[in-house]
Amino acid sequence: MLAYSLPALFAMFIWWISTGVVLYVVGRPPATHTNAMLAISALAAVALFGLWTTSDDASVFGAYSAFAAALTVWAWHEMSFLTGKVTGPRTTPCPGRPDEPTSLRAPLLPAIGSVIYHEIAIALTAALIFALTFDGPNQIGLWTFVILWLMRLSAKLNIYFGVQNLTEQFLPNHLQYLKTYFCRRPMNGFFPITVTVSTVVTALLAAAALHAAATPFQVTGLTFLTILMALAVLEHWFLVIPIPAERLWSWGLASRSQPAPEGPAASQANRERIGMATA
């Protein structure tokens, strides 16, 4: 039982803690974001090296290492987006739309323009991870990153098509304009398809992990992927069920309620905020 429970707990914990850390960092004053990006970039570079070196390691340790490395690389993308460093060419509200989400969809091209650089960066990173690991038996890092990518893309599409809970409370102040591309509806026709397909994939991964012939490496790696898919399905349900998911990361969101600094640092922060608002 420990062969399943330990990787399951590890996957849930690292998912929760990494999300909270990213939210805490991006909620701090914009003047701190450059240093934060430098730090996470260094960690991501080490993680990519780790994915390459562990691609031949089909052991339990190799599965843990690849999973953690892929999540670190993913954290770079999350932070680069939420800090506003890598989003899209359109960094202004959707033309002709109110400040708050409505039941009408935004035009497709402006919506794509608000995030396309981010999506291209993720696709290029997935290709890089494939190139680093394709000839090795340890593909856990690649599949971890692919699951995160596809399920995040599915969530973005559902938010565009319309769901009840748009998770706009996770957007920092400098990305509030993205709300004008969101659509608020009880549900959309794409949601049942994505949840059904994702649930089936989760069940298939769980069955593979529980197979009697699975090696310890396969048990560990497949458990990671199963839990990751299950968490992604849960996040999808958070989009349509009135559950305050933000409470899971209230400690990470706390950085946005900290009192503003005083003195020269405050003046600099105010100038940067004004510059963002007029960009």
pLDDT, tens digit, 9 for 90 and up, residues 136-153: 999 999 999 999 999 999
pLDDT in tens, 173-224: 899 999 999 999 999 999 999 999 999 999 999 999 999 999 999 999 999 9
Phi-psi sector, 261: left (phi>0), alpha (psi -120 to 50), beta: beta
- The rounded distance, in Å, linking the Cα atoms of 101 and 111 is 13
For residue 144, what pLDDT is reported?
A: 98
For residue 228, what pLDDT is reported?
A: 97
pTM of the complete model: 0.89
pLDDT band at 247 (very low <50, low <70, confident <90, very high): confident
Q: Which of 221, 99, 235 is nearest to 156 (CA)?
A: 235
Over 50: is that where the pLDDT of 164 sits? yes
- The rounded distance, in Å, linking the Cα atoms of 154 and 161 is 10
For residue 261, what pLDDT is reported?
A: 47
- The rounded distance, in Å, linking the Cα atoms of 10 and 204 is 21
Annotate the chain with three-state secondary structure.
CHHHHHHHHHHHHHHHHHHHHHHHHHCCCHHHHHHHHHHHHHHHHHHHHHHHHCCCCCCHHHHHHHHHHHHHHHHHHHHHHHCCCCCCCCCCCCCCCCCCCECCCCCHHHHHHCCHHHHHHHHHHHHHHHHHHCCCCCCHHHHHHHHHHHHHHHHHHHHHHCECCCCHHHCCHHHHHHHHHCEECCCCCHHHHHHHHHHHHHHHHHHHHHCCCCCHHHHHHHHHHHHHHHHHHHHHHHCCCCCCHHHHHHHHHHHHHCCCCCCHHHHHHHHHHHHHHHC
Judge contact between 39 and 25, C-beta under 8 A. Answer: no
